[in-house]
Amino acid sequence: MALARAAERSQSVAYTVTREYQLAPVGASKPSSDVVAEVSFVPPTEKQYTIVKAEGNDRGAGIVRRILDHETVMASHWQPHDISPANYDFALLGREMMDDHLCYVLQLLPKREAVELVRGKAWVDANDFEIRKIEGETAKSPSMWIKKVKVTINYGKVNGVWLETSTQAIADVRLAGPHVLTSRELDVRTATFSASVNRPKTTRHSRSHIAADTAAWIAH
């Protein structure tokens, strides 16, 4: 698994993902805010974002900006939150099929309390040892206003790049109740990166057919 993740980090594909975020109380019939952002990654550690649309409650736009600011910082400081023996103890719980892939199910036991670490389970592909899913609760509450955060992160290959294909997290907010920030992938563009140029040219791959909502939550 560690070797697979090292190979994944060494990949030379730059990409840009367009995501739509929607913030709402759990069970609400419509979102209180709608935000669209473009997130670009240039290997090995450069990540940037641009907010291209923000409608509704200002709280949603503020949360999305904090999420993306955090992603930008973590891109160059991945070691403290990597799924590795440096950060976790592991236990083999068994095997399960996931989307026609046989996976080892590992228990994740964080070695310290940190917002970026998850106490829960990971599904690791038995063929290529890539992580296909992580599910659990953050090892530390991100804020005194947040009781707990439940997260589910799914991974897969999109246009030759191993990515987080969807995430879902629900935060139990004090005084306000459970809230969810959902997101969906609208577009993916990839390019072969060359260190001799500042920015690679990208090839557009439409992903507008993806209908399933995804979710993300990082509340600092």
Each residue of 13-27: pLDDT tens digit? 888 989 888 888 999
Distance CA 108, CA 89 (A): 6
In a domain, 120, yes or no: yes
In a domain, 109, yes or no: yes
Burial class (CB in 10 A: 0-12, 13-18, 19+), 196: exposed
Burial class (CB in 10 A: 0-12, 13-18, 19+), 174: exposed
Q: Is 85 helix (H, G, I), strand (E, B) or coil?
A: coil
Each residue of 161-217: pLDDT tens digit? 777 888 788 888 776 788 888 877 788 888 754 433 444 444 444 333 333 333 334
pTM: 0.78
Each residue of 65-106: pLDDT tens digit? 988 998 888 878 888 889 999 999 999 999 999 999 999 999
Nearest 5°: the CA angle 132, 135, 138 is: 130
Whether the bond between 44 and the residue before it is cis, its omega within 30 degrees of 0, is: yes
Burial class (CB in 10 A: 0-12, 13-18, 19+), 129: middle
- Structural domain boundaries enclosing 71: 2-215
In a domain, 126, yes or no: yes
The phi-psi region of residue 99 (left if phi > 0; otherwise alpha if psi is between -120 and 50; otherwise beta) is left
Domain count, the chain: 1
* Amino acid found at 86: A
In a domain, 220, yes or no: no
Alpha-carbon distances, residue 123 vs 11, 157, 218 (angstroms): 22, 15, 22
pLDDT confidence of residue 220: 38
In a domain, 103, yes or no: yes
Distance CA 214, CA 183 (A): 4
In a domain, 65, yes or no: yes
